[in-house]
Chain A
């Protein structure tokens, strides 16, 4: 980066130097040329004092030879003294200014390494150059004080020079001749070159100094702080720990702001990472606990089958598949005494940990009531009373509870807002049994329930379940429904309770294969074999 910046500065300086040099050179050139023209004019004007304008025609006529010679000598001396290469006086034909006659002609070939031969008095010559003719005319008609002809770039090998033309007047003020002075402009060229050299050298020196200064500046004031920031940023990316604060690392507000942004970012990020670590740890802990809770819940339900291997009068099978880690469904079965098998199927409102807690409490209360030998309706009523006492969250549980008298096959049951049981009698298919319903448990205090009785015969089966079975949903949003459930039950109504549960489970899984299991799936089936 430093190299790019320094190169850019040097380039900018070079361009700047070039532009300044060119403009300076142009204005220097024009001022210098003007000044040179004016000073040459003064020299030429002074020369006219040496020439007597009243006697020019006499000189041409060959008269006043002595005065002519004196004047010529004076002009020669003057020409030599002031270092001009030519000094001549001519009388121009005023008709069309196309020719002139030479009067005086002083030559100093040593001045500019020229090889002029002086014109004789009376030498006539054509003027082919229109520029000269215009200037002659302007001077004769007194339109200007003097005229200058520049020959800066000469073609014929001559050195650059200027020719200044001034009028020679007689005593009555009329222009009678023109004095021309040719002066080398070597000085202009020399001055111009030295000016150019000084510009180039000073620009180069300045550019060098500036680049050295810029290099130092860029390196110590810009690059060093930026490198500090970038080093710190990459260290942070690597280590993810808060480092020593960069603080105020530069006099430039932008760099300081960048550094303090990095400091703030590091602080925020470290804080964020700490939070994240803590939250993740917390989440892992909760996950572990939920896992444990699931295992506790599963262990609470009777889950060793066959459950009563020594009892040949009935066969029972049940299972539960919670939708979330812990569920609100539960089943239960136990022998109240040697002749009475109590079976419970229940579903707590809601899901997850709250439902599971409520389920545990409900299960214990129901079992305790049942073991006191009460009728199903009484068990439910008493359970409802217990739960309603301390149910601020207004959770409730639907319960089907049946007690089978093993010796006679008489099933006494009561239903607290739970799904209809499905019953298969005498080897026929399963049908829903629309039993009498009471209100859910935990909803309202003082609710009464009623018992109903069924006579079970050998091979009769009762299937109870939770709404997770009937309400399993497929990708299209259709519910599994009790009709499909009965269909699954009746695939093999004569099969063992375990096989029947597997059939239903397989059917619901096939139905809802692409969707997440929405609700707990809990089922229980008992076959009377007495």
Chain B
């Protein structure tokens, strides 16, 4: 299960993710991001309540990162220990802007 709460004001978008981002829920986030990203130059993904991220979820982060590099910047915030470990193991810690 994944709950996505988004807050878009002007060219800044904040997505808060809660639950699991895996094969089953990744398409949902992909669709929401695709719909929201036009005209956004600053994207913040808040992962405080994200319990788990699978490779399918990482793929969404990677493709979103690529899109945002072209039109602005993407930040990942409030990463908890479990997800941080996955980021480190997969090398995502090096390519994402984590605050």
Residues of chain A whose beta carbon lies under 8 Å from any beta carbon of chain B:
328, 347-351, 394-396, 398, 416-420, 437-440, 443-444, 447, 467, 471, 479, 518-519
For the complex, give the distance between the alpha carbons of A467 and B23 in Å.
13
Can you spell out 8 A-B residue pairs with CB atoms less than 8 angstroms apart? A349-B55, A394-B66, A398-B55, A420-B89, A437-B90, A467-B55, A471-B52, A519-B54
For B94, give the chain A residue with the smallest CB separation. Answer: A439
Task: Report the Cα distance A351→B23, complex, angstroms.
Answer: 7
Q: Is the CB of A467 within 8 A of B54?
A: yes
- List the B residue with the shortest CB-CB distance to A444: B95
B15 within 8 A of A: no
Query: A396-B62, A398-B55 known; 7 other A-B pairs, CB under 8 Å?
Result: A394-B59, A417-B92, A438-B91, A443-B91, A467-B54, A471-B54, A479-B52
B residues near A (Cβ < 8 Å) are: 22-23, 26, 52, 54-56, 58-59, 62-63, 66, 88-92, 94-95
Residue of A whose beta carbon sits closest to that of B51: A477
Shortest Cβ gap from A330 to chain B (Å): 13
Closest-CB distance, A352 to chain B (whole angstroms):
8
Q: Establish whether residues B59 and A395, one from each chain, have CB atoms under 8 Å apart when the complex forms.
A: yes
Q: Which B residues lie within 8 Å of A439 (CB)?
A: 90-92, 94-95
Residues of B within 8 A of A479 (CB): 52
A284 CB to nearest chain B CB (Å)? 25
Chain B residues, Cβ within 8 Å of A349: 55-56, 58-59
In the bound complex, what is the Cα–Cα distance between A419 and B89 (angstroms)? 6
- Point out the residue from B59, B63, B88 that lies within 8 Å of A437, measured CB to CB: B88
Residue of B nearest to A398 (CB): B90
**Within the complex, which residue of B23, B55, B66, B88 is in contact with A347, where a contact is CB–CB below 8 Å?**
B55
A417 touches which one: B63, B66, B90 (CB < 8 A)? B90
| Distance between Cα atoms of A443 and B22 in the complex (Å) | 18
Interchain nearest-CB distance for B31 vs A (Å)? 15
CA distance A398 to B62 in the complex (A): 13
Chain A residues within an 8 Å CB radius of B95: 439, 443-444
A37 to chain B, nearest CB (A): 98
Cβ-defined contact, B59 with A396, below 8 A: yes
A396/B54 in contact, CB under 8 A: no
> Residue B58 contacts which of A418, A438, A440, A447 (CB distance < 8 angstroms)?
A440
Q: Are B62 and A394 in contact (CB under 8 A)?
A: yes
Give A447 to B92 CA distance when docked, in angstroms: 12
A356 to B15, CA, bound (A): 31
Task: For residue B73, give the distance in angstroms from its CB to the closest CB of chain A.
Answer: 16
Interchain CA distance A437-B22 in the complex, whole Å:
22
Residues on A with beta carbons closer than 8 Å to the beta carbon of B62: 394, 396, 440, 443-444
- By a CB distance below 8 angstroms, the chain B residues around A438 are 91
A443→B62 CA distance, assembly (Å): 7
Give 7 nearest A-B pairs by CB, closest first: A439-B91, A417-B90, A349-B55, A417-B91, A349-B59, A394-B63, A350-B56
B61: nearest residue on chain A (CB-CB)? A443
A417 to B56, CA, bound (A): 14
Complex Cα spacing A351 to B54, Å = 11
Q: A328's closest neighbor in chain B, by CB?
A: B55
Contact assessment for B90 and A350 in the assembled complex, using a CB-CB cutoff below 8 Å: no
In the complex, which of the residues A349, A447, A479 has the most CB atoms of chain B within 10 Å of its own CB atom?
A349
How many whole Å from B25's CB to the nearest CB in chain A? 12
Q: Is the CB of A350 within 8 A of B55?
A: yes
Residues of A within 8 A of B92 (CB): 417, 439-440
Whole-angstrom CA separation of A328 from B58 in the bound complex: 15
List chain A residues, Cβ under 8 A from B90: 398, 417-418, 437, 439-440
A337 to B35, CA, bound (A): 52
CB neighbours of B91 from chain A (8 A): 416-417, 437-440, 443, 447
Residues in A with CB closer than 8 Å to B66 are 394
CB-based nearest B residue for A397? B55
Q: Known contacts being A394-B62, A444-B95, is A437 close to B55, with CB within 8 Å?
A: no
Residue with the highest number of chain B CB atoms closer than 10 Å, among A419, A440, A479: A440
Contacts of A394 in B (CB 8 A): 59, 62-63, 66
- Do B89 and A437 touch across chains, with their CB atoms under 8 A apart? yes
Tell me, in angstroms, the Cα distance from A443 to B87 when the chains sit together.
13
Cα–Cα distance between A394 and B60 once the two chains are bound (Å): 9
A395 to B23 alpha-carbon distance, docked (Å)? 13
Once A417-B89, A437-B91 are accepted as A-B contacts, the answer to whether A350 and B52 lie under 8 Å apart by CB is no
- Chain A residue with Cβ nearest B82: A479
- Complex: chain A residue closest to B1, CB-CB: A477
Q: Compute how far the CA of A350 lies from the CA of B54 in the bound complex, rounded to whole angstroms.
A: 8
A229 to B55, CA, bound (A): 59
Q: A residues within 8 A CB of B52?
A: 471, 479
Minimal beta-carbon separation of A402 from chain B (angstroms): 16
Q: A348 and B55 in contact (CB under 8 A), knowing A394-B66, A439-B95?
A: yes
**In the complex, A25→B29 CA distance in Å?**
88
Smallest beta-carbon distance B63→chain A, Å: 4
B89:A396 contact, CB within 8 angstroms = no
Give the residues in chain B near A416, CB-CB below 8 Å. 91
Contacts of A396 in B (CB 8 A): 55, 58-59, 62
Complex CA distance for A467 and B52, rounded to whole angstroms: 12
A117 and B79 CA atoms in complex are apart in Å by: 134
Residues on A with C-beta less than 8 A from B63 are 394
Q: In the complex, A467 Cα to B56 Cα: how many Å?
A: 12
List residues of chain A with CB within 8 A of the CB of B88.
Answer: 437
| Nearest CB in chain A: distance from B50 CB, A | 14
